[in-house]
Each structure stands twice: as structure tokens, then as C-alpha cells.
Amino acid sequence: MTIGSADESLKRRLKEMIIRECEKDNFAPAEVPDDVVLFSDECALGLDSLDALQIAVALQNQFSVRIPDSKSFRRHVTTINALADFIQPE
């Protein structure tokens, strides 16, 4: 397996999941950048803390990734690239 940030299909699945779970239907996966911090003003998606929780549960349910608390979530889920690397380290 390749490292997550180099795995385009994994990153596409992650973007689709985020759009679906956060009900940001007016965005296409291609419009979600790989290297912009998701929970910041620079990210056009405009996600809030409830979106973060929604994503955390989806990661657990759909990608079998356990993220124990909000602090470690913020540490791992910064950008799409970082998230992909966290899910698939190699």
C-alpha cells in the first residue's frame, strides 16, 4: 500500500465522506483541497465543531479508525493529506 496522501482514491473517498456527512452538497470532491486546514477560515467548506464530531463518528463507522477525543482529532485531522496519512501510514 502507498502512504495515504499519495493514494488518490482514498483521498477521494474521504472527501466524499466529509461532503456527505456534513451535508455540504453544493461542493464537489474535487473542490476540497488536499492541503488546506479543514477547520479553519481558509477552508471554503465552513465546517464547525459539530461537523468535526460527525466526521469523527464516520471515520470510526466507515473507516474503522478510532479517534478517542477532540484533542487528538484536531491533531490528526488537519488537512485531507494529514488525515489520509493517519488512516494509511504506509
Partner 1 sequence: MIYIHATGIHNTIPTSGQPDLRAELKAMGADNRRSDHFMRLAVIGAHKAADGHELPAETAVYMTSGQGNTAVFNRICSALRIEKNLPKPVDFINLLSNSTGFYIASHLGLAGRNIFLTHHHFPVQMTLLTAQNDITQGLQQTILAGGVDEWQTRPQLARKLMGIEETTVLGEGSNWLLLSPERENALAVLEVEKRCINEEELTLRLRAESKHHDITIAFAPKITKSQAARFMNQYPSFKRHNYEAACAYYETLAFYALNSFIAAHKKGRLLHIDCGTNGYMLMTVEIIP
Partner 2 sequence: MVSIIGGALLSALGNPPRRIEALRHGRAEPGTLETMIGRDRVSYPYYRLDHKPRPIDPAVINGYLDEVMEKLGRKLALNPAELGNCGIFLGSSAIDYYQAAVLEQAVMNDSTADIENQRAGGGCYAERLARRIGCDGPCLTYNTACTSSANALIDAAAMLAGGIIDHALIFGLEITSAMTLQGFIALQLLSRSRVRPFDIKRDGMILGEAVSVVLLSRTEIRPSTWHYLSGGSLSETYTVTGANPDGSGIAMVMAAALKDAGLTPHELTAIKAHGTASEAMDSAELRGMKRVFERLPPYFSLKPYIGHTLGGCGVAELVLTMECIEAGFIPPTMNFNQLEPEFRQPPLQQARAVKSGRFMLNYFGFGGNNTSFIIEKTP
Residues that bind partner 1 (CB under 8 A): 21, 23-24, 50, 53-54, 57-58, 60-61
Q: Supply the minimum distance, in Å, between the C-beta of residue 5 and partner 1.
A: 27
48 binds partner 2 (CB under 8 A): yes
Question: For residue 83, how many other CB atoms are within 10 A of its CB?
Answer: 26
Q: What single DSSP character describes residue 29?
A: G
Q: Supply the minimum distance, in Å, between the C-beta of residue 39 and partner 2.
A: 14
60 binds partner 2 (CB under 8 A): yes
**What gap in Å lies between CA 53 and CA 81, rounded to an integer?**
19
Residue 58 binds which entry of partner 1, partner 2, none, with Cβ cut-offs from 5 to 8 Å by kind?
Answer: partner 1
User: Smallest Cα–Cα separation from 44: which of 9, 2, 72, 15?
Assistant: 15
62 binds partner 2 (CB under 8 A): no
Question: For residue 73, how many other CB atoms are within 10 A of its CB?
Answer: 18
Report H helices in 1-90.
Answer: 8-21, 49-63, 70-76, 80-87
30 binds partner 2 (CB under 8 A): no
Q: Supply the minimum distance, in Å, between the C-beta of residue 22 and partner 1.
A: 8
